[in-house]
Chain A
Amino acid sequence: MKSISKKGLFLAQLVKVAGKIESEKLLAKMLCYIEKERGVVTGFRFDKNQNYGNYTFEIKDEVKKLQEEGLINFKKEESLGLWGDTIKTHIFVATNKLKDIELDLTKKEKLAIKSIYREYSSYSPVEIGHYDHEIYRQGKSRTDIKIKNEALKETRDLISKHKGDKKSALKEWLIK
């Protein structure tokens, strides 16, 4: 597995967790969120303007290598849309070989992948697109992440005030 890059490992692990991902856009965005929202560096290049052109190109490149290693099956399916248009679906499936191996990623990296998959897999690419539009494209910050960071900072500050004694810090926090 030495020929697989860090990016490839992230991609393979995400497909392994999912078993099957039926949207290239969703796959690309989940990889993007692993870095943006969990702070884990994947190695993929991100575009501030959310232009996924380069990004999906990078995915294609990695998928090709993973296919050669027999870790991912990739296929395109075409179906007829409601308006007579052709809908192309990109399908990524984990092979049995992938399911059986442990990829060389840290516990934190694997957890970030699992967590992002759990959070976003139930949304459709359209919903994910809407999410991007609202949050990233308009340059907004996520209030929920801001709230979380403030609570973590308060906790860290209190523990540090009590010189690392979490129990005393907790007691103070509870009576505040």
Chain B
Amino acid sequence: MIFLVNIRKLIVDACILIAKFRGEDPAFQMQHTEAFLDIIKDNNFKIIIIEKVFKETDKYPSLKSSIDEWKTDLESKGKLELIKTKEFKNKHDEVVNIMNEAENEEINLSFQDALQAQYASETKIPLITWDSGLIDYCILKNIDAFRPNEFIEYFERADSTVEK
């Protein structure tokens, strides 16, 4: 398990953004998503989102304008980095390997899950998601992945030692 000291970047799954804006799911999920994003904002973390994963939010037209506004705001503050799809052009085999490994463990991953797991594994940047399948795979493969509530817990524990 990582210590959040000196961690300045986090890979954020699109489901976090959807949880922030959809306003209809478990209250605790929304509350923890908000608290997580507040920590990011107030503590100089940078959010990394894979562009192709971000595009998944296009499927939710009613949320799109709010999500785009949020994205523009963060980009203008230099707190958001989008990873281009071309970054994965030589990573097809690795992503497929992840899907196969997950299948062997009876975990179903979508392409976007496998892409994020590959990127988190390669960069060693922690991944934040509400997706249980993705978390389960990451646990098995010792990739750092947290739900927002878990991140908040670790952050609060490490807070006194984190550089501000």
Are A and B subunits of one complex?
yes
Tell me if A115 counts as interface (CB < 8 A to partner B).
yes
Q: Once the chains bind, are A143 and B132 in contact (CB under 8 Å)?
A: no
Chain A: interface residue count, which band?
35 or more
Tell me if A174 counts as interface (CB < 8 A to partner B).
yes
List residues 129-176 of chain A with CB under 8 A from any CB of chain B: 130-131, 134-135, 140, 142-144, 147-148, 150-152, 154-155, 158, 166-167, 169-171, 173-175
Residues of chain A within 8 A of B88, CB atoms compared: 174
Residues of chain B within 8 A of A64, CB atoms compared: none
Bound Cα distance A152, B25 (Å):
20
Please, how many residues of chain B have a CB less than 8 angstroms from a CB on the other chain? 44
Total residue contacts A-B, CB cutoff 8 A: 94
- The residue on A at minimum CB distance from B131 is A148
Residues of chain B within 8 A of A108, CB atoms compared: 106
Tell me if A105 counts as interface (CB < 8 A to partner B).
no
Tell me if A's interface is mostly helix, strand, loop or mixed: helix
Residues of chain A within 8 A of B56, CB atoms compared: 151
Residues of chain A within 8 A of B89, CB atoms compared: 174
Q: Once the chains bind, are B106 and A143 in contact (CB under 8 Å)?
A: no
Q: Once the chains bind, are B15 and A152 in contact (CB under 8 Å)?
A: no
Tell me if A3 counts as interface (CB < 8 A to partner B).
no
Residues of chain A within 8 A of B59, CB atoms compared: 150
Q: Once the chains bind, are A135 and B106 in contact (CB under 8 Å)?
A: no
Tell me if B162 counts as interface (CB < 8 A to partner A).
no
What distance in Å separates the Cβ of B107 from its nearest Cβ neighbour in chain A?
7
Residues of chain B within 8 A of A171, CB atoms compared: 92
List residues 116-131 of chain A with CB under 8 A from any CB of chain B: 118-119, 122-123, 127, 130-131
Tell me if B68 counts as interface (CB < 8 A to partner A).
no
Q: Name A's B-contacting residues (CB within 8 A).
A: 37-38, 107-108, 111, 114-115, 118-119, 122-123, 127, 130-131, 134-135, 140, 142-144, 147-148, 150-152, 154-155, 158, 166-167, 169-171, 173-175
- Pull 15 A–B residue pairs with CB atoms less than 8 Å apart, ordered by A: A111-B105, A111-B106, A111-B107, A115-B136, A119-B132, A130-B26, A131-B26, A134-B26, A143-B22, A143-B24, A148-B131, A151-B113, A155-B111, A170-B111, A170-B114
Q: Name B's A-contacting residues (CB within 8 A).
A: 15, 18-19, 22, 24-29, 52, 56, 59, 85, 88-89, 92-93, 95-96, 99-100, 105-114, 130-133, 135-136, 139-140, 147, 149-150, 153
